[in-house]
Structure 1
Amino acid sequence: MTRIDDLPVRDELRGKSPYGAPQLDVPVRLNVNESPYPMPEQLVRRIAERVSDAARTLNRYPDRDAVVLRTQLADYLTRTTGHRLGPNQIWAANGSNEILQQLLQAFGGPGRTALGFDPSYSMHPLISRGTGTGWISGPRTAEFDIDTEAAVAAIHEHRPDVVFVCSPNNPTGTAVSPETVLALYEAAQAASGGPGALVVVDEAYAEFSHRPSLLSLIEGRPTLVISRTMSKAFGAAGLRLGYLAADPAVVDAVQLVRLPYHLSAVTQATAHAALEFSDTLLGYVEELKAERDRLVVELRVLGCEVTESDANFVQFGRFADPHDVWQRLLDHGVLVRDNGVPGRLRVTAGTRQENDAFLDAVRAVMKENNE
């Protein structure tokens, strides 16, 4: 039987595995940072209305530049962060992963490198590899923070073309201070020897953070980009809508590599409807933040080490064999995530009932360990 490595694939793809997490039919699924709340019925009806209207013109291509959607996204960010933005500073695509891919297509590629700070979002190196961009793994502290001095030194040493900062960080949940981001940005400009390396702050979980968004930092910094998604706070993982905020020149640059008509009319219509209900959806975020904080407290009471989280998930441990603990939690009907971080697992904040089931499963596994 023919294998991938029997085909003439690029050398840097040989022996690699695609991104993925187990999709198992279990009572409690807390492994991929989805919202546990279905869309409210009023929003479902509004989506149906919007999509029905779009269906009448599906014989035509959609708005290639998604101007109305970008205007709505700019208004949303202005309202929720206090930092005024215009639609020329916003770009949208099929999930934040496509945003990251377009950025690497425009600013990375063969002969160029990207640097990130591991453990972090595993798609950063995967998308880098897929675009022919070299990947460099930068340092973190034992507490999973970015050591600013060590990170600046790594930038000066490797002179990357793109720097990734995840805040809050996935899978650890840790946020990054504005001072650290500014230090990395300044180092990236000084080390580039040219117009400056691109610094991408991945804020997929920003709405869950105790800290303000880093969006205000883009003012006067033309190579600083903030990436966002509607998958998490909007509870719209199935929509696949991501976006960025940056200097208008960055928006112009990614349009050089975007596929024509990349956002379907149905996607745009659904996103329009979801943005109309942003206040309702952000109300669910407040509930999930409270549940996340409860998980942190309860896991510590159970004797677990827990990383402080600004996201909708919690990293916990420390286990001699985390995959064994993962399997035993699964045996109790609860699916969490084994990200490969030594000694640790990650659980998504679910409904109160789901979180109770998870905590009961942890108690049972720990009791088994002590018998």
Structure 2
Amino acid sequence: MSTIDSLPLRDELRGKSPYGAPQLDVPVRLNTNENPYPLPEELVERIAERVTEAARRLNRYPDRDAVELRTELARYLTRTAGHRVGHAQVWAANGSNEVIQQLLQTFGGPGRTALGFEPSYSMHALISRGTGTGWLSGPRNADFTIDVEAAERAIAEHRPDVVFVCSPNNPTGTAVDEATVLRLYAAAQAARPEYGALVVVDEAYGEFSHHPSLLPLIEGRPTLVLSRTMSKAFGAAGLRLGYLAADPAVVDAVQLVRLPYHLSAVTQATALAALEHTDTLLGYVEQLKAERDRLVTGLRAAGCEVTPSDANFVQFGRFADSHEAWQALLAHGVLVRDNGVPGWLRVTAGTPEENDAFLEAVRAVTKDLKEKSER
């Protein structure tokens, strides 16, 4: 039997691990930032209707440009994110990960580099390597905010072709303000005066933020891109639908690398049905924001440090051994995420009952760990 090490892998993939979070059979799973609420029955019925209509035409390829879906996504952004966009400024793909992949295939690649501010969404680095794009890690402050002056120096020195800004940031939950993005964008353009560098603002958790969307910043900035997903706020992680908003030229450019008919007719039909129920789904977002804030209060009451969160999850610590704390919570039937940030863990906001169970487990674990340290 061959092993992966015996295969003719590309050098930059050797020794790497695939992305993934453990899916263990425990009573409370709060490790993957999913929306805990199932889709309402009326939406399930509407999806069935839409998919039935699409099924009658499955002998034909789907709309390869997904014009109807992009039009409805543009309408949603215009209504909720504070800036008017049209379908020519929106592109959709199979999850925001494919959006990122297409951007890196188009603007990254061999001989080019991407820069992000770690800890951040690990797929930015993984997809960069997968597309042959060099990866650079930019600086953060001790409170996990971006060190803007150090970031400007890093951009000037390394001249990246693509810069990733995650707001709210995963796994820390911290938001990035408009002024920071504008400074990073200006630095990226100055470093690449011939064409400018692409700056991607990843707003996968944007609907959960206390702060307004950064979408208006794309106006007049041809290489600024906003990335979004339907996995989180729409409670549709199983749908795999992500999208971007940018200058129409960026949308034209990513179509140079997209696979033919990349969005199935069933995916498009399901996403369109979900967009018809935006108000109901965003009502769940408000419930989750309240639960997230309750988690913050409960964690602090239990003696934990908490990073201020604008997402549907909370980073908490600090533990002398975060993996030990993760294991202890698991022993109480609660699965959270160990992202490898020393001293910290991340918990997704779940249902009120799930959050109660998590907080009870935290109180027990922190008590046990404190007693252990005092022995």
State the TM-score, normalizing by the size of structure 2.
0.98
Asked if 1:73 corresponds to 2:73, the answer is yes
Instruction: State the SS of the aligned residue for 1:345.
Output: strand
Matches within 5 A, 1:230-309: 230-309=230-309
| Aligned equivalents of 1:247, 1:14: Cα separation in 2 | 36
Instruction: State the SS of the aligned residue for 2:78.
Output: helix
Matches within 5 A, 1:358-369: 358-369=358-369
| Aligned equivalents of 1:138, 1:340: Cα separation in 2 | 17
Deviations for 1:53-103, whole angstroms, at most 9, x for unmatched residues?
A: 000000000000000000000000001122110000000000000000000
Matches within 5 A, 1:166-177: 166-177=166-177
| Aligned equivalents of 1:84, 1:370: Cα separation in 2 | 53
Q: CA deviation at 1:118?
A: 0.4
Q: CA deviation at 1:370?
A: 3.4
Matches within 5 A, 1:1-371: 1-371=1-371
* Contact 2:82-2:215 within 8 A present in 1 as well: no
* Contact 2:203-2:226 within 8 A present in 1 as well: yes
Deviations for 1:197-222, whole angstroms, at most 9, x for unmatched residues?
A: 00000000000000000000000000
Instruction: State the SS of the aligned residue for 1:52.
Output: helix
Q: CA deviation at 1:367?
A: 2.1
Instruction: State the SS of the aligned residue for 2:144.
Output: coil
| Aligned equivalents of 1:180, 1:126: Cα separation in 2 | 25
Q: CA deviation at 1:140?
A: 0.2
Instruction: State the SS of the aligned residue for 1:92.
Output: strand
Return the letter of the residue paired with 2:145.
D
Deviations for 1:220-244, whole angstroms, at most 9, x for unmatched residues?
A: 0000000000000000000000000
| Aligned equivalents of 1:38, 1:204: Cα separation in 2 | 19
Deviations for 1:115-155, whole angstroms, at most 9, x for unmatched residues?
A: 00000000000000000000000000000000111111110
Q: CA deviation at 1:5?
A: 1.6
* Equivalenced residues, count: 371
| Aligned equivalents of 2:370, 2:178: Cα separation in 1 | 43
Return the letter of the residue paired with 2:211.
R
Instruction: State the SS of the aligned residue for 1:193.
Output: coil
Return the letter of the residue paired with 1:325.
A
Instruction: State the SS of the aligned residue for 1:244.
Output: strand
Q: Deviating runs (4+, > 4 A) in structure 1? A: none
| Aligned equivalents of 1:367, 1:19: Cα separation in 2 | 33
Structure 1: gaps of 5 or more residues: none
| Aligned equivalents of 1:370, 1:306: Cα separation in 2 | 18
Structure 1 stretch displaced more, 2-11 or 312-321: 2-11
Q: CA deviation at 1:3?
A: 1.1
Q: CA deviation at 1:366?
A: 1.6
* Contact 2:82-2:213 within 8 A present in 1 as well: no
Q: CA deviation at 1:369?
A: 2.0
Let me know the Cα RMSD of the aligned residues.
0.6
| Aligned equivalents of 2:13, 2:82: Cα separation in 1 | 43
* Contact 2:229-2:241 within 8 A present in 1 as well: yes
| Aligned equivalents of 1:95, 1:242: Cα separation in 2 | 4
Instruction: State the SS of the aligned residue for 2:146.
Output: coil
Return the letter of the residue paired with 1:233.
A
Return the letter of the residue paired with 1:62.
P
Q: CA deviation at 1:195?
A: 1.2
Instruction: State the SS of the aligned residue for 1:315.
Output: strand
Return the letter of the residue paired with 2:149.
E
